[in-house]
């Protein structure tokens, strides 16, 4: 089975790296003779991922104004409101590899959470036109994200693998019969433990991840997080480790975390991890933390999967669904509006502190089940052969 992963923006988002890295690993382990290829918007960043049989440049190519393709697409759009020709040309770096593959796997877990996706819809049409199997791998989609156009596209997939039960219930409630429930593949990802930095307290360090995406969506959240950091320093003796997980241009956790580090570095109890670690190295640090507070989903998955009590600064169905599948309820997940409330952040932190051992016990019980659900995705995939 030759599998092409697409809809991947590159591995400077360590969550995207984690999906590719863990997916390639569990596929190779379970499907004998499988070959896994990655089509990426930024292939240079993906060279760090083992177990891939090839990495291709899949970056979009905008049409040059007044070129032949631009004129044809303009005419089709004006006369027939038809963007398919243009989208096919823009995404040809993906489309040109379809004929070589058996399965084309859209791996952008939350790509369908951000409005209409005409480019992906056209790639999906081309996959089916060439008679190949089409899979949506480890997705999260909210009720608020759905439209008739999107639902029509989702019906064309041979297999949709929802990574948490809220998405699964929503999609099956829409009448889709091609949906299976699994878990995010990153729950199975390995970790690499590097030397601990000076000032790290073993068994008494809390990680904090914050993102410009969350800050942009709630302008007051930055000030509230600042109050929470001050609260932790005042009320505990823990070391705080600021932990970036996405380091893309214009979406860089490290730049935001530097603001906090500058304020508190003289305390001797606030550290900042570097911005050049890969996903398994960040996971290696997160695994040795006592607690974790995170905005990036895959940073929180790194914590959960190592039974680290975690508070999630959630902003979509994926955060809520993952917590629900772990704990049976949305435990310690704060919505985008809540995270500007410093008192609510402090109360949630105190709850995590109070229930530390109970949370660890719940995770120790749940994680093997969740990892089995991650691997179950490959079982469903293998049935397409």
Q: What is the 3-state secondary structure (H, E, C) of 148-181?
A: HHHHHHHHCCCEEEECCHHHHHHHHHCCCCCEEE
Dist CA 106 CA 120 (whole Å): 9
pLDDT at 315: 67
List helix spans (H) across the chain. Answer: 14-30, 68-80, 84-90, 92-95, 118-129, 148-155, 165-173, 212-217, 221-235, 253-264, 279-286, 297-304, 317-327, 342-354, 356-382
Q: How far is CA 269 from CA 233, 261, 294, in A?
A: 8, 10, 19
Give the domain 205-366 fold.
Rossmann fold (3.40.50)
Domains 2-181 and 205-366 share a fold: yes
Angle formed by the axes of helices 14-30 and 297-304, nearest 10°: 50
Q: Between β-strands 159-162 and 179-181, what pairing exists: parallel, antiparallel or unpaired?
A: parallel
The pTM is what?
A: 0.94
Query: Which region holds residue 58: left if phi is over 0, alpha if psi is between -120 and 50, else beta?
Result: alpha
Q: Are 84 and 125 in contact (CB under 8 A)?
A: yes
Residue boundaries of the structural domains of the chain: 2-181, 205-366
Q: Between β-strands 251-252 and 247-248, what pairing exists: parallel, antiparallel or unpaired?
A: antiparallel
At 56 the three-state DSSP class reads strand
Per-residue pLDDT for the chain (385 aa), expressed as one digit of tens each? Answer: 999 999 999 999 999 999 999 999 999 999 999 999 999 999 999 999 999 999 999 999 988 888 877 888 888 878 777 788 788 899 999 999 999 999 999 997 788 888 889 999 999 999 999 999 999 999 999 999 999 999 999 999 999 999 999 999 999 999 999 999 999 999 999 999 999 999 999 999 999 999 998 888 888 999 999 999 999 999 999 999 999 999 998 899 999 999 999 999 999 999 999 999 999 999 999 999 999 999 999 999 999 999 999 999 976 788 999 999 999 999 999 988 899 999 999 999 999 999 999 999 999 999 999 999 999 999 999 999 7
pLDDT at 83: 86
Dist CA 290 CA 35 (whole Å): 39
Dist CA 105 CA 34 (whole Å): 14
DSSP 101: -
Dist CA 148 CA 188 (whole Å): 34
DSSP3 helix / strand / coil % (the chain, rounded to 5): 50, 15, 35
Closest Cα partner for 280 from 55, 25, 28?
25
Q: Are 310 and 293 in contact (CB under 8 A)?
A: yes
Dist CA 180 CA 225 (whole Å): 37
Residue 311, Cβ neighbours under 10 Å: how many? Answer: 25
At 36 the three-state DSSP class reads strand
pLDDT at 72: 81
Options 3.40.50, 1.10.10, 3.90.1570, 3.40.1130; which CATH number does 2-181 get? Answer: 3.40.50
Backbone angles phi, psi at 324, to 5 degrees: -60, -40
Dist CA 107 CA 13 (whole Å): 13
Dist CA 73 CA 92 (whole Å): 14
């Amino acid at each position: 089975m030759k599998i092409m992963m697409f809809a991947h923006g590159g591995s400077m988002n360590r969550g995207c790296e984690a999906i590719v890295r863990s997916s390639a690993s569990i596929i190779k382990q379970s499907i004998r003779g499988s070959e896994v290829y990655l089509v990426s918007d930024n292939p240079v960043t993906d060279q760090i991922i083992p177990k891939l049989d090839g990495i291709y440049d899949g970056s979009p190519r905008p049409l040059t104004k007044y070129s032949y393709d631009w004129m044809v697409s303009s005419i089709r759009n004006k006369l027939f409101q038809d963007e398919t020709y243009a989208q096919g040309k823009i995404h040809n770096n993906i489309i040109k590899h379809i004929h070589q593959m058996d399965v084309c796997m859209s791996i952008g877990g939350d790509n369908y959470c951000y409005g209409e996706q005409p480019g992906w819809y056209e790639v999906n049409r081309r996959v089916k036109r060439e008679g190949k199997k089409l899979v949506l791998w480890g997705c999260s989609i909210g009720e608020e994200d759905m439209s008739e156009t999107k639902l029509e596209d989702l019906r064309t997939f041979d297999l949709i693998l929802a990574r948490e039960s809220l998405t699964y219930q929503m999609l099956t409630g829409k009448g889709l019969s091609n949906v299976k429930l699994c878990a995010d593949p990153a729950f199975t990802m390995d970790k690499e433990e590097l030397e601990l930095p000076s000032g790290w307290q073993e068994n008494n360090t809390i990680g904090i991840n914050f993102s410009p995406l969350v800050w942009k969506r709630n302008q007051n959240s930055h000030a509230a997080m600042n109050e929470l950091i001050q609260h932790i320093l005042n009320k505990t003796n823990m070391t705080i480790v600021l932990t970036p997980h996405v380091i893309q241009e214009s979406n860089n956790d490290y730049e935001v975390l530097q603001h906090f580090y500058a304020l508190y570095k003289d305390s001797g109890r606030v550290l900042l991890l570097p911005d050049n670690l890969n996903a398994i190295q960040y996971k290696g640090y997160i695994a040795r933390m006592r607690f974790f507070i995170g905005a990036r989903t895959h940073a929180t998955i790194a914590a959960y999967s190592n039974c680290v009590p975690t508070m999630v600064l959630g902003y979509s169905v994926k955060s809520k669904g993952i917590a629900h599948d772990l704990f049976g309820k949305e435990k310690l997940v704060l919505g985008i509006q809540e995270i500007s409330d410093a008192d609510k952040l402090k109360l949630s932190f105190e709850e995590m502190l109070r229930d530390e051992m109970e949370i660890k016990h719940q995770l120790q019980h749940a994680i093997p089940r969740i990892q089995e659900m991650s691997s179950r995705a490959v079982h469903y995939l293998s049935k397409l052969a």
